[in-house]
Amino acid sequence: MTDSGRVVGIVIAVFVVLVLIICGCLCAGGLLLDRNSPDPVAEDPYVFPDDDWTTPAVEPLFPERPTAQPPTLAPTPTKQPITAPTSGPAPVTVVYEVTGSGQADIAYYDAESDLIHVDHTKLPWRTSIRTNGQSRVMVEATWPDIDYHGPLDCTLTVTGVGKPIVDKTRGYWRTTCSVE
């Protein structure tokens, strides 16, 4: 055998020894680590009921669903709405109304033109504000989920300056009333 053949043989032998050492260490380490973990296989896979064979010896795998609904909190707006402007007269009265069945998510502008969100509000819903003008007067209602609840109606009534303005709109998922 030539010198290069011996070198190749030695390199292969060293490689095989290193692979065996690494695999042995990994296997031994796995066994040592697994010694502290619980056995994933049940010790006694057979569970026998009581003597009368009517009562199971273990709890059911899936607990029963609770029948009582969790308590629901009263809807609260994202911020406290302002019903009259903090400065100047308020000659314009705006009445927002949303009708339908169930609950809806509602957004509207208050007297200071801040957008107020009230989620999961029981319908019918109504509020009124007094404001200086009609520039930011809008109400929008949306069903809170994708289930069909029937029609959703909004009505916006503006009185106090000139002829009263009424906008009434019907939607089936969302509806919006505004002064144009």
- Show the domain range for 112: 92-178
Q: Nearest CA to 137 among 177, 171, 82?
A: 177
Residue 74 has pLDDT above 70, yes or no: no
Task: Give mean pLDDT, residues 105-113.
Answer: 89
Q: Supply φ then ψ for residue 24, to 5 degrees.
A: -65, -40
Among 176, 175, 137, 174, residue whose Cα is nearest residue 157: 137
Q: How many domains does the chain have?
A: 1
**Residues 69-79: what's their mean pLDDT?**
54
- Kindly report the average pLDDT of the chain as a whole number: 76
Within a domain: 113: yes
Q: What is the pLDDT of residues 119-168, one digit of tens each?
A: 999 999 999 988 877 668 899 999 887 776 789 999 999 988 778 888 89
Q: What pLDDT, on the 0 to 100 scale, is given for residue 155?
A: 93
By C-alpha distance, which of 107, 101, 140, 138 is closest to 122? 101
Confidence of residue 21 (pLDDT cuts 50, 70, 90): confident
Residue 125: the pLDDT is 95
In a domain, 115, yes or no: yes
Taking residues 50-73, report their average pLDDT: 55
pLDDT on residue 96: 94
* 159 domain-assigned: yes
Q: What are phi and psi of 138, to 5 degrees?
A: -165, 145
Q: What is the CATH number of the domain that holds 122?
A: 2.60.40
Cα(159)–Cα(91) distance, integer angstroms: 8
Residue 153 maps to a domain: yes
Task: State which H helix or E strand residue 67 sits in.
Answer: none
Instruction: Output the six-digit token pair for 99.
Output: 């009708």
Instruction: Say whether pLDDT at 65 is over 70.
Output: no
Q: Is residue 155 part of a domain?
A: yes
Q: Which helix (H) or strand (E) holds 95?
A: strand 92-99
Residues in contact with 54: Cβ distance below 8 Å, sequence separation at least 6, in sequence order: none
What average pLDDT does this structure show over 54-78? 55
144 in any annotated domain: yes
Q: What is the pLDDT of residue 108?
A: 92
Of 73-87, 90-104, 144-158, the one with minimum mean pLDDT is 73-87
Bigger pLDDT: 120 vs 62: 120
Q: What is the mean pLDDT of residues 86-95?
A: 76
Buried b (16+ CB within 10 A) or exposed e, 48-79: eeeeeeeeeeeeeeeeeeeeeeeeeeebebee
In a domain, 138, yes or no: yes
Residue 80 lies in a domain: no
Using alpha carbons only, give the angle 62, 68, 74 rounded to the nearest 5 degrees: 130
